[in-house]
């Protein structure tokens, strides 16, 4: 018997969580456990939420009773798998259905979704997909609505009762409100870090936002400039040149970020990065900068090997030949850190 007073207790808990900054996966896992304590027979649940990120399209939290809880990020560049193309969650998103329900017991698992046949073989008897649409910042892609979408499954012999369905619908709306509050904060942080970088973005969110705010730091400087950029731009034209430039930035700025450096700016066809020394010795920062330079060399060498006629670049315009020269120079001078530009996961607003 489901006690709605206990369900109200879950609602109060969700409100309290929304006032903080909880991890969405942990929040979802605890919600499922609390529902079970209230006799809502959830044995498997998935939460999917959209986000606003230059590389990440959506995030997924998976919970199973007595099993492992895990979190996954789906990148924009990932190709759709066959499992996803045939999934009930995708069907609900594409068709904009308010709910999908499939009974899986007593031979009812012969549905259009291979996943449900597998779940039936594992003892599941009832399966729901319920979307909750809400306006949050997100990249509008194949799916017209933003918000959260959940699947719920049970092994209860008779499936979900009407009381259980009502409790799930009731709690999912409250979860959506909590998720909206949490995700808005996460998206704000993503935008700050995307346009400013993790160090400067954090400082801005902590209040250093006024004109003139800054900080003096000690850092090792990384600077990389693309060879023959003007000639390449003339040879390629604007669209292909920008693709080529992005390839260069992914190799150079990507190497800096891989070594936990900070990309301060995009200067024409050049990358300016720093390796601050606040949390480590100067020698350690120098070593990471040198490692980034070596990785840049390796990446650009690999790019050179794969240059094809598709880039429309003649041999004399292959700017990545001998791309990096490492020079050591030490100079003591204050550096003010506020604002930067990264690799493919970072964009400069124009």
Return the closest-CA partner of residue 60 out of 37, 35, 83, 39: 83
191-207 tens-digit pLDDT: 888 777 777 788 888 88
CA-to-CA dists, residue 2 to 6, 27, 130, 164, 167, angstroms: 8, 21, 20, 7, 8
36-67 tens-digit pLDDT: 999 999 999 999 998 888 778 889 999 999 98
pLDDT band for 105, please (50, 70, 90 cuts): confident
CA 126 – CA 119 distance, rounded (Å): 9
Asked if 96 and 144 touch (Cβ cutoff 8 Å), the reply is yes
CA 126 – CA 170 distance, rounded (Å): 18
CA 309 – CA 322 distance, rounded (Å): 20
Burial of 310 (0-12, 13-18, 19+ CB in 10 A): exposed
pLDDT band for 228, please (50, 70, 90 cuts): confident
242-260 tens-digit pLDDT: 888 888 888 898 899 889 8
136-153 tens-digit pLDDT: 776 666 666 678 999 999
CA 254 – CA 257 distance, rounded (Å): 5
- Model confidence, pTM: 0.72
Predicted pLDDT of residue 282: 87
Domains of the chain: 4-196 (3.30.450.40), 212-336 (3.30.70.1230)
């Amino acid at each position: 018997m489901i006690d709605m007073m206990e369900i109200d207790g879950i609602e109060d808990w969700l409100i309290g969580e929304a006032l903080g900054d909880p991890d969405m996966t942990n929040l979802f896992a605890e919600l499922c456990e609390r529902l079970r304590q209230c006799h809502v027979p959830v044995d498997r649940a998935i939460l999917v939420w959209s986000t606003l990120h230059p590389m990440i399209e959506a995030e997924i939290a998976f919970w199973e009773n007595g099993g492992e809880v895990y979190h996954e990020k789906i990148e924009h560049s990932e190709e759709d798998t066959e499992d996803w193309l045939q999934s009930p969650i995708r069907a609900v998103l594409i068709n904009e259905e308010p709910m999908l329900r499939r009974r899986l017991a007593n031979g009812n698992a012969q549905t259009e979704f291979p996943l449900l046949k597998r779940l039936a073989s594992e003892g599941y008897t009832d399966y729901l997909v319920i979307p909750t649409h809400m306006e949050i910042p997100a990249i509008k892609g194949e799916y017209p609505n933003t918000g959260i979408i959940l699947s719920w499954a049970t092994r209860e012999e008779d499936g979900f009762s009407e009381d259980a369905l009502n409790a799930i619908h009731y709690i999912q709306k409250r979860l959506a409100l909590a998720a909206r509050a949490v995700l808005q904060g996460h998206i704000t942080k993503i935008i700050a870090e995307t346009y400013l970088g993790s160090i400067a973005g954090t400082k801005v969110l902590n209040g250093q936002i006024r004109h003139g705010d800054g900080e003096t730091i000690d850092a090792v400087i990384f600077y990389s400039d693309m060879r023959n950029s003007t000639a390449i731009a003339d040879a390629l034209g604007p669209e292909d040149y920008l693709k080529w430039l992005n390839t260069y930035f992914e190799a150079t700025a990507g190497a800096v970020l891989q070594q936990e450096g900070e990309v301060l700016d995009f200067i024409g066809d050049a990358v300016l990065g720093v390796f601050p020394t606040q949390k480590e010795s100067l020698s350690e920062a120098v070593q990471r900068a040198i490692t980034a330079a070596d990785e840049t060399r390796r990446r650009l060498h690999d790019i050179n090997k794969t240059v094809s006629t598709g880039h429309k670049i003649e041999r004399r315009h292959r700017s990545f030949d001998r791309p990096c020269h490492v020079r050591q120079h030490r100079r003591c001078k204050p550096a003010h850190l506020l604002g930067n530009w990264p690799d493919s996961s970072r964009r400069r607003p124009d």
